[in-house]
Amino acid sequence: MITAVDTSVLLDIFSRDPTFAIPSANALRQSLREGAVIVSDVVWVETLASFPDTTRFEMAMADFQISFVPMSREAATRAGELWREAKVKKLPRKNRVVADFLIAAHALDTADRLLTRDRGFYAEYFKGLSILSP
């Protein structure tokens, strides 16, 4: 089982969020017990930016056994197509950004599921994406 992780879950853990840190950490542990845990380019960038330096970030990712798996061209194309569709149809995006589409397309392309707190959005826009929530 390969689990892709959304940025919000990692930020919950690394920032010790009072509401979500424990459930997010438990879900991450579950994912590690069941197989590999990966992140996309986007999640890597968003999470790294929250650390004071790159060395600490890379150590934290290694400690949690989280691997960087770059996005394929196919996943990037899928994200772009879905983003375009959302813009054309003017679907309620609830302040969504293209990064959300990139994260989900990467998960569909490289993982068996996505670990995220944002189940509703991903389920709505990415049919067939298996979601694990903390």
Structural domain spans, the chain: 2-132
pLDDT at 9 over 60: yes
Task: Identify the H or E element spanning 2.
Answer: strand 2-5
C-alpha 77 chain-centroid distance: 17
Percentage of the chain surpassing pLDDT 70?
A: 94
- Quote the CA–CA distance of 56 and 52 in Å, as a whole number: 7
Average pLDDT of the chain? 91
pLDDT at 96: 64
92 confidence band (pLDDT: 50, 70, 90): low
Return the structure tokens found at 9: 């879950």
pLDDT of res. 126: 82
Sheet strands (E) in 10-125: 36-39, 66-68, 113-115
Is the pLDDT higher at 83 or at 62?
Answer: 62
Which tokens go with 20? Answer: 């979500």
Kindly report the CATH class assigned to 2-132.
Answer: alpha beta
The answer to whether 6 touches 103, Cβ cutoff 8 Å, is: yes
pLDDT of residue 90: 64
pTM for the model stands at 0.89
CA distance 25 to 16: 10
